[in-house]
A and B are shown apart, each in its own frame.
Chain A
Amino acid sequence: MLRAGRLLLASALLAAGCGAGETGAARALRVSGSTTVNPVVARAAEILRAERGLAVVVDTQGGSAGGLAALAEGRVDAAMASRPLDERDRSRYPEADFRPVPIGADAVALAVSRDVWEGGVRALSRAEMRRIYEGRIASWHELGGPDRPVALFAKEPGRGTWEAFADWLYGGSAEAPLVAHLEVGSNEEARTKVASTPGGITQLSAAWVDGETLFALAVEGAAGGAPVAPTAAAIASGRYPMVRPLLLVTDGEPTPAARALLDLLLGPRGQELVRAAGYLPLAALGTPGPGGPGEPEAGAP
Chain B
Amino acid sequence: MTAAGSTEALGRRPVEWLRLACFAGSAVAALFLVSLVGLLLAQSLPIWREEGILGFLLGRRWFYRSGELGALAMIYGTAAVSAVALALAAPVGLGAAIFTAEVLPPRARLAVKTTVELLAGVPSVVYGLLGVLVLRDRVYRLLAPFEPLSGDTLLTGGLLLAVMVLPTVTTFSEDALRGVPGAHRRAARGLGLTRARTTFTVVLPRALPGIAAAHLLALGRALGETIAVFLVIGRRDNQLPESALSFDALARGGQTLTTKLGGAETFLAWGDPKHWAALMALALVLLALVVGVTLASAAVLAKGGGRAPVD
Residue contact B236 to A182, C-beta cutoff 8 Å: yes
Residue contact B236 to A181, C-beta cutoff 8 Å: yes
User: Which DSSP category, helix, strand, loop or mixed, fits chain A's interface?
Assistant: mixed
Chain A nearest CB from B249 CB (Å) reads 14
With a cutoff of 8 Å between Cβ atoms, the chain B residues found around residue A3 in the complex are: 13-14, 17
Residues of B in contact (CB 8 Å), total: 31
Chain B nearest CB from A112 CB (Å) reads 13
Give Cα distance in the complex from A17 to B235, angstroms. Answer: 42
With a cutoff of 8 Å between Cβ atoms, the chain B residues found around residue A66 in the complex are: 264, 267
User: Which of B14, B235, B236 lies at the interface centre, i.e. has the most chain A CB atoms within 10 A of its CB?
Assistant: B235
Q: Tell me whether B121 is interfacial, beta carbon within 8 Å.
A: no
Give Cα distance in the complex from A200 to B253, angstroms. Answer: 14
One digit per residue, 1 when the CB lies within 8 angstroms of any chain B CB and 0 when it does not, for chain A 148-176 equals: 01010100111100000000000000100
Report if A157-B268 is in contact (Cβ < 8 Å); known contacts: A178-B66, A182-B253, A183-B236: yes
Q: Tell me whether B151 is interfacial, beta carbon within 8 Å.
A: yes
Residue contact A156 to B237, C-beta cutoff 8 Å: no
Report if A182-B149 is in contact (Cβ < 8 Å); known contacts: A66-B264, A192-B132: yes
Number of A-B contacts (CB under 8 A): 74
Residue contact B264 to A62, C-beta cutoff 8 Å: yes
Residue contact A151 to B267, C-beta cutoff 8 Å: no
With a cutoff of 8 Å between Cβ atoms, the chain A residues found around residue B99 in the complex are: none
Q: Tell me whether B63 is interfacial, beta carbon within 8 Å.
A: yes
Chain A nearest CB from B142 CB (Å) reads 15
Residue contact A158 to B267, C-beta cutoff 8 Å: yes
- 21 inter-chain pairs at a CB distance below 8 angstroms, sorted by A residue, are A3-B14, A3-B17, A7-B17, A65-B264, A69-B270, A149-B147, A156-B263, A158-B268, A174-B65, A178-B65, A180-B236, A180-B239, A181-B236, A182-B235, A182-B236, A183-B234, A183-B236, A193-B132, A193-B150, A196-B151, A200-B150
Going nearest first, the 4 A-B pairs with the smallest beta carbon separation are: A180-B237, A92-B271, A197-B150, A151-B149
Residues of A in contact with B (beta carbons under 8 Å apart): 3-4, 7, 62-63, 65-66, 69, 91-93, 149, 151, 153, 156-159, 174, 178, 180-185, 189, 192-193, 196-197, 199-200
